[in-house]
Amino acid sequence: MVLAARPAGMPKPSDFRLEETPVPEPSPGQVLVQNVFMSVDPYMRGRMNDRKSYAKPWQVGQPADGRAVGQVVRSRAPALAEGAWVASMLGWREYFVAGPEGLNPIDPDLAPPSAYLGVLGVPGFTGWYGLKEIGRPKPGETLVVSGAAGATGSLVAQLGKAWGCRVVGTAGSEDKCRWLRQACGVDVAIDYRRAGDLYEALRPACPAGIDVYFENVGGPMLDAVLRLINVNARIPLCGMISQYNLEVPEPGPRYLFSLIGNRGLMQGFIISDHMSRYPEFVGEVGPLLKAGRITYQETVVEGIERAVEAFVGLFSGDNTGKMLVRLGPEAR
Amino acid sequence: MVLAARPAGMPKPSDFRLEETPVPEPSPGQVLVQNVFMSVDPYMRGRMNDRKSYAKPWQVGQPADGRAVGQVVRSRAPALAEGAWVASMLGWREYFVAGPEGLNPIDPDLAPPSAYLGVLGVPGFTGWYGLKEIGRPKPGETLVVSGAAGATGSLVAQLGKAWGCRVVGTAGSEDKCRWLRQACGVDVAIDYRRAGDLYEALRPACPAGIDVYFENVGGPMLDAVLRLINVNARIPLCGMISQYNLEVPEPGPRYLFSLIGNRGLMQGFIISDHMSRYPEFVGEVGPLLKAGRITYQETVVEGIERAVEAFVGLFSGDNTGKMLVRLGPEAR
């Protein structure tokens, strides 16, 4: 899937085009991988712009890229057997040939391969790191998570519960809220689309104020939270999905000065700075997942031709949990 | 000076009233102090509201209070001789009687007593702490200071130069900017009232981007800065004077999400949490001041009956440097 034009605002189907080329043959030392799932993530919107940012812009006329998991279907690299599962940065295509350097073998016995794009992949790792290192929740504190039914937010909400917090999650439908309450165990789930005034909705949910706010969305939610934060509140800034498709971003929170009197901290982070912590994350969350103490959801869109649709759906909340595109069948 | 009514928006003269009472006599163990200067500070606007905050609200019908310096004119406390200079929290009155506990003797040989309300007092201490502990500037980095001609900002700007930074200061008149360039040694001073688009004004002043922004003002300046911050930028939130008299605060910065990609930190702080560091501050800044390596300005309004006028003048920038009210003559 090739970027055909840089989108203005929300991407359109005509901003991308599908190109077909023969499946390449691996050279000695290389493998041929058939992708099974690829990830679409909000941060990819930034890569469609021609602006310096933490992630390199995609080039017009070139294939898009991003995280994917697939299986080795032809191996000329001794380290990778045919049938092996690998994660790569070579999504947005059905097949690719590569040396073993950029490929991460994954363990399908710990979790299904698709989980390595979600709860055990970059989205989950992002939530774990931001909550642990910036949010630093203490037992008994109140944690608010926006985008709580998403791939990152749902892990944050469950880790918050596991670590002894009162957890309030916000999401964009009653179905998502029900899942948050029943499967993820949050104390209160708020459907922000039906809540009316977000401050009035959050206030009774947080009778002891807010100590940690894990920010995925930006916009009015942040403003409502700022009016309820406690002294020494921490706000990890993970994402602001509400702003990514605006040509001029919206005005920000009126109550930013609440950070002064409350000695609040707001800290942005980019998970690629912290990849050395990934094994620690898998070591901590993998067993919780395997033991069934952490749950997750996936929304799977079928076929590379629907990848752009899947991406755009992130911004209207079409997904519950991790949004994936199935690119091919599993070999076994 | 008594708070007569809680102001709505900008305080009016009728929100205060002057009351006269006989000068009290000290009991054994007490002293009578004649105040010579009192401080008016932006944070006092919050104390006029009946809202829980880091500083206790003033009570309607009771005298206002705040930092002041004065001289002991009658002593029945052996530790404090007549003529001694003391700083206290008992401003907004010409005389008071107190025990020695809440009084801080000051050294008029290190700096003139009024400096203990400004560059060597809470405003200077606030700037030193916020810059050193949150801003953490490194030599060669670019530091932007808003409210740079004020009591806090002008020390921050000069410490930035002393610590090897490129320093850009913003202030509200050409006179203030000239003083910043000529006396404080800033690299660029910008008159924000005449600058037009603040982003376009800051951009050429910060060719290598902004590493530290010391925030005193809030509003559009913060938004312009957020568009120019570098990776790992630090933003100590000291004050947002532009917002203090608004009944509903203005919308905040559109570019807050710039903190995410740039891993930016925004941290509010209240200097009263850190009073144990005050001796370290005086030990570091006192000698620089005595050696003439740090300069400061004061704006002195004469007489307690003009205290409210002096306070309100803070919000239109009537002051250059520390705004003081003279409450009485010096005894020697």
Quick check: B52 pLDDT over 90?
no
Whether chain B has a CB inside 8 Å of the CB on A272: the answer is no
Which of A46, A54, A265 faces B267 most closely, judged by CB atoms? A265
Q: Which amino acid is at B122?
A: V
Q: What is the mean pLDDT of residues A23-27?
A: 96
The span from the CA of A255 to the CA of B212, in Å, is 22
Rg (CA), chain B: 20
- Residue A16: pLDDT over 80: yes
Q: Give pLDDT, residue B51.
A: 86
What average pLDDT does this structure show over B281-299? 95
Interface predicted TM-score (ipTM): 0.91
Torsion angle of the four alpha carbons B107, B112, B118, B120, in this order, in degrees rounded to the nearest 10: -40
Three-state secondary structure call for residue A327: coil
Question: Of A262, A264, A266, which is closest to B259 when you measure between CB atoms?
Answer: A266
Q: Read off the tokens for A10.
A: 């929300």
Residue B3, helix vs strand vs coil = strand
Query: Matching CATH topology for B2-117+300-326 and B122-272?
Result: no
Question: B254–A254: do the CB atoms touch at under 8 Å?
Answer: no
- Rounded CA-CA distance B138/B143 in Å is 10
Nearest to A262 by CA among B273, B41, B126: B273
Terminal-to-terminal C-alpha distance of chain A: 26
pLDDT at A53 over 90: no
Q: How far is residue A161 CA from its own chain's centroid? A: 19
Q: How close, in Å, is residue B7 to chain A by CA atoms?
A: 20
Residue-wise pLDDT for B57-89, tens only, equals 999 999 999 999 999 999 999 999 999 999 999
Amino acid at B218: G
DSSP-assigned letters across all residues of B11-71: --GGGEE----PPPPPPTT-EEEEEEEEE--TTHHHHTSSS--SSPPPPTTSB--B-EEEE
Report pLDDT digits (tens) over B219-232: 999 999 999 999 99
* Residue B115: DSSP 8-state: G
Tokens of B273: 């949490």
Q: A320: which strand partners? A: none
Average pLDDT, chain A: 95
pLDDT for res A70:
98
- Distance in Å, alpha carbon of A228 to nearest chain B alpha carbon: 12
pLDDT tens for B124-177 read 999 999 999 999 999 999 999 999 999 999 999 999 999 999 999 999 999 999
What pLDDT is stored for residue A54 in this prediction? Answer: 83
Residue corresponding to tokens 């992708």:
A35
What pLDDT is stored for residue B263 in this prediction? Answer: 97
Radius of gyration (C-alpha) of chain A in whole angstroms? 20
Say what the pLDDT of residue B329 is. Answer: 93
Give CA–CA dist A81/A112, Å, rounded.
19
A83-108 pLDDT, tens digit each: 999 999 999 999 999 999 989 999 99
Note the maximum CA span of chain B.
63
List Cα–Cα distances, B56 to B45, B49, B52, B123, in angstroms. Answer: 11, 9, 7, 18
**CB proximity under 8 Å: B 38-67 to A:** 46, 53-54
Quick check: B198 and B220 in contact, CB under 8 A? yes
Does the beta carbon of B272 lie under 8 angstroms from any beta carbon of chain A?
A: no
Residue type, B183: A
Query: What pLDDT is attached to residue A332?
Result: 61
Q: What is the pLDDT of residue A55?
A: 87
Q: Which CATH number fits domain B122-272: 3.40.630.30, 3.40.50.720, 3.40.50.300, 3.40.50.1110?
A: 3.40.50.720
- B245 pLDDT above the threshold of 90: no
Instruction: Give the pLDDT score at A247.
Output: 85
CA closest to A273 among chain B residues? B263
Task: Quickly name the fold that domain A2-110+298-326 has.
Answer: Quinone Oxidoreductase; Chain A, domain 1 (3.90.180)
pLDDT at res. B295: 97
Q: For position B53, what pLDDT does the model report?
A: 81
For residue B249, give the nearest of A237, A257, A259 by CB distance.
Answer: A257
Picking from A42, A104, A88, the residue whose alpha carbon sits closest to that of residue A279 is A104
Pairing status of strand A85-88 against strand A68-75 = antiparallel
CB atoms within 10 A of CB B260: 24
Q: Which helix (H) or strand (E) holds B268?
A: strand B265-268
Q: For B330, which DSSP code?
A: -
| Sign of the dihedral defined by the CA atoms of residues B258, B262, B263, B268, in that order | negative
CATH topology of domain B2-117+300-326: Quinone Oxidoreductase; Chain A, domain 1 (3.90.180)
Q: Does B135 touch chain A (CB under 8 A)?
A: no
Chain B residues inside the 8 Å CB shell of A247: none
Structure tokens at B304: 């307690």
* Dist CA A41 CA A28 (whole Å): 33
pLDDT surpasses 70 at B40: yes
pLDDT at B332: 61
Inform me whether the pLDDT recorded for A52 exceeds 90: no
* Interface residue B255 vs chain A (CB under 8 A): yes
How many Å apart are CA A13 and CA A306, to the nearest integer?
A: 9
Helices (H), B140-183: 151-162, 174-182
| Per-residue pLDDT at A10 | 94
Residue B172 half-sphere exposure, CB side, CA atoms within 13 Å? Answer: 16
Closest listed residue to residue B44, CA positions, set B61, B64, B62, B24: B64
pLDDT digit string, tens, across residues B191-209: 999 999 999 999 999 999 9
**List of long-range contacts for A97-100, beta carbons under 8 Å, 24+ apart:** A97/A24, A97/A25, A97/A26, A97/A27, A97/A30, A97/A31, A97/A32, A97/A33, A98/A30, A98/A31, A98/A33, A99/A29, A99/A30, A99/A31, A100/A29, A100/A31
For A34, A44, B175, B321, B323, the CA distances from B292, given in Å and listed in that order, are 72, 54, 21, 16, 21
Among A38, A43, A42, which residue's Cα sits nearest to residue A67? Answer: A38
Q: Do A260 and B267 touch (CB under 8 A)?
A: no
Contact B231, B199 (CB under 8 A): no
Closest-approach residue (CA) in chain B for A51 = B261
Q: Is the pLDDT of residue A51 over 90?
A: no
Which pair of structure tokens corresponds to residue B168?
């850009």
In one-letter notation, the amino acid at residue B222 is L
What is the structure's pLDDT at B151?
94
Q: Which two tokens stand for residue B140?
A: 């060669």
CB contact under 8 A, A260 and B270: yes
Domain ranges of chain A: 2-110+298-326, 122-272
Express each pLDDT in B108-122 by its tens digit: 998 999 999 999 999
